[in-house]
Amino acid sequence: MERFTKTRVRYADTDQMGCVHHAKYFEYFEIGRTEYMRQAGCSYADMEKMGYFLMLVDVHATYRKAVGYDTEITIKTRVGELVKTQVTFLYCVEDEEGSVLCEGWTKLACTNEDGKLRRIPEEIREVLKGDEQ
Amino acid sequence: MERFTKTRVRYADTDQMGCVHHAKYFEYFEIGRTEYMRQAGCSYADMEKMGYFLMLVDVHATYRKAVGYDTEITIKTRVGELVKTQVTFLYCVEDEEGSVLCEGWTKLACTNEDGKLRRIPEEIREVLKGDEQ
Amino acid sequence: MERFTKTRVRYADTDQMGCVHHAKYFEYFEIGRTEYMRQAGCSYADMEKMGYFLMLVDVHATYRKAVGYDTEITIKTRVGELVKTQVTFLYCVEDEEGSVLCEGWTKLACTNEDGKLRRIPEEIREVLKGDEQ
Amino acid sequence: MERFTKTRVRYADTDQMGCVHHAKYFEYFEIGRTEYMRQAGCSYADMEKMGYFLMLVDVHATYRKAVGYDTEITIKTRVGELVKTQVTFLYCVEDEEGSVLCEGWTKLACTNEDGKLRRIPEEIREVLKGDEQ
Determine the 3-state secondary structure of B79 from DSSP: strand
> E strands along A9-95, which residues?
53-63, 72-82, 86-94
Average pLDDT over residues A14-27: 97
pLDDT tens digits, chain C, 133 residues: what are they?
A: 899 999 999 999 999 999 999 999 999 999 999 999 999 999 999 999 999 999 999 999 999 999 999 999 999 999 999 999 999 999 999 999 999 999 999 999 999 999 999 999 998 998 888 766 5
Subunits close to A (at least 3 CB pairs below 8 A):
B, C, D
Residue B5: what residue type? T
Q: Using a CB-CB distance cutoff of 8 angstroms, which residues of chain B are in contact with residue A23?
A: 12
Contact flag A30-C11 (C-beta cutoff 8 Å): yes
Min distance A89 CA to chain D CA atoms (Å): 15
pLDDT exceeds 90 at position A126: no
- β-pair partners for D96: none
Q: Would you state the pLDDT for residue A123?
A: 87
Min distance A120 CA to chain B CA atoms (Å): 29
Q: Helices marked H in B41-98 — which ranges?
A: 44-49
Contact of A60 with A96, CB cutoff 8 Å: no
Q: Which residues, numbered 63 to 92 in chain D, qualify as contacts with chain B under a Cβ-Cβ cut-off of 8 Å?
A: 69-70
Number of cross-chain residue pairs from A and B with Cβ atoms under 8 Å apart: 31
Min distance C24 CA to chain D CA atoms (Å): 9
pLDDT exceeds 90 at position B132: no
Average pLDDT over residues D37-49: 93
Determine the 3-state secondary structure of D29 from DSSP: helix
The DSSP code sequence of A11-36 is: GGGB-TTSSB-TTHHHHHHHHHHHHH
Q: Would you state the pLDDT for residue B131?
A: 66
Average pLDDT over residues B25-44: 96
Q: What is the pTM of this model?
A: 0.96
Residue of chain C with shortest Cα separation from A24: C12
Instruction: Compute the distance between CA of residue D34 and CA of residue C84 in angstroms, rounded to an integer.
Output: 41
Average pLDDT over residues D67-94: 97
Q: Which of B33-37, B45-49, B122-126 has the lowest mean pLDDT?
A: B122-126
| Mean pLDDT, rounded, of chain D | 95
Average pLDDT over residues D92-119: 97
Q: Using a CB-CB distance cutoff of 8 angstroms, which residues of chain B are in contact with residue D11?
A: 27, 30, 34
Query: pLDDT above 70 covers what percent of chain D?
Result: 97
Q: How is the beta sheet containing C86-94 ordered, strand by strand?
A: B3-8, B72-82, B86-94, B100-111, B53-63, C53-63, C100-111, C86-94, C72-82, C3-8
Contact of C54 with C98, CB cutoff 8 Å: no
Q: At what angle do helices A24-40 and A122-131 cross, to 10 degrees?
A: 100
Subunits close to D (at least 3 CB pairs below 8 A):
A, B, C
Q: Does B34 touch chain D (CB under 8 A)?
A: yes
Q: Would you state the pLDDT for residue B61?
A: 98
Q: Using a CB-CB distance cutoff of 8 angstroms, which residues of chain A are in contact with residue B18?
A: 16
Determine the 3-state secondary structure of B70 from DSSP: coil
Find how far residue C125's CA is from the centre of its chain. Answer: 17
At residue D81 the predicted structure's pLDDT band, cuts being 50, 70 and 90, is: very high
Contact of C82 with C110, CB cutoff 8 Å: no
Of A30, A48, A68, the CB nearest to C10: A30
Instruction: Compute the distance between CA of residue C112 and CA of residue C103 in angstroms, rounded to an integer.
Output: 29
Q: Which of A19-33, A96-110, A112-126, C60-74 has the lowest mean pLDDT?
A: A112-126
Residue C35: what residue type? E
Please state whether D41 falls in left (phi above 0), alpha (psi between -120 and 50) or beta.
left
Instruction: Compute the distance between CA of residue A92 and CA of residue A74 in angstroms, rounded to an integer.
Output: 8
Q: Which of A14, C105, C78, C88 is nearest to B61 (CA)?
A: C105
Contact of B110 with B87, CB cutoff 8 Å: yes
**Tens of pLDDT along B77-121?**
999 999 999 999 999 999 999 999 999 999 999 999 999 999 999
pLDDT exceeds 90 at position D127: no
ipTM: 0.95
Q: Would you state the pLDDT for residue B90?
A: 98
DSSP state letter for D132: -
Residue of chain D with shortest Cα separation from A48: D17
Contact flag D27-B12 (C-beta cutoff 8 Å): yes
| Mean pLDDT, rounded, of chain B | 95
Residue of chain A with shortest Cα separation from C45: A70
Contact flag D26-A27 (C-beta cutoff 8 Å): no
Instruction: Compute the distance between CA of residue C104 and CA of residue C94 in angstroms, rounded to an integer.
Output: 12
pLDDT exceeds 60 at position A133: no
Domains and CATH numbers, chain A: 3-131 (3.10.129.10)
Report phi then psi at D9, rounded to 5: -65, 120
pLDDT exceeds 60 at position D87: yes
Q: Using a CB-CB distance cutoff of 8 angstroms, which residues of chain C are in contact with residue B26?
A: 22-23, 26
Query: pLDDT above 90 covers what percent of chain B?
Result: 89
